Copies of this chain bind each other. A is one copy, B any other.
Amino acid sequence: MTDEKNKKNKDFAELLRESKLKVTAPRLRVLNEITQKDAAISQPDLEKIIGKDIDRVTLYRILSSFEEKGIVHKIFDLNGTATYAMCTSNCTENHHHDQHVHFICSICNSVYCLNEVSLPRINLPTRFTLHSLAINAVGLCSSCQKED
């Protein structure tokens, strides 16, 4: 995977411009926080970290515009809370293409995107037409294994 392949490594201002979003401080801040950790981050956690630097409503709007533009994708953790992670570069507006397996730790609830794991083939009954697969592997992450 080249640097270009993953939006994580792009220049954030450039990324916003490409998505036809204005380059604003709150947006840059959110991009910074999302890429800070290896795991996907939820809106509540972002809110905790960002504190009152950014209004809660603005955060909602930033996240949904990022999702719409294909900058981040949403993964639901085990509690059904949405978490956000950067998309890979083949996502565009309203069209997410970055199918990959997600790992969710059943203890700390962290969500990881596993781009290196290959997607399995699934045979559906003929009454269904398959468009995409959302696969969540649930188990223990490395830090939670140690503490068992």
Contact = CB atoms under 8 A, between A and B. Distances in A.
A135 B117 CA distance: 14
Given A82-B80, A117-B124, A122-B101, A129 B136 contact: no
A131 B140 contact: yes
Interface in A98-148: 101, 103, 106, 112, 114, 116-117, 120-125, 127-142, 145
A12 interface: no
Nearest to A116: B125
B132 A139 contact: yes
A134 B132 contact: no
A80 B101 CA distance: 18
Contacts of A136: 133-136
Interface of A: 74, 76, 80, 82, 101, 103, 106, 112, 114, 116-117, 120-125, 127-142, 145
28 contacts: A74-B80, A76-B80, A80-B80, A101-B122, A101-B124, A112-B128, A114-B125, A117-B122, A117-B124, A117-B125, A120-B122, A122-B135, A122-B137, A124-B137, A124-B139, A127-B141, A128-B140, A129-B139, A130-B137, A130-B139, A131-B138, A131-B139, A131-B140, A132-B137, A132-B138, A132-B139, A134-B135, A134-B137
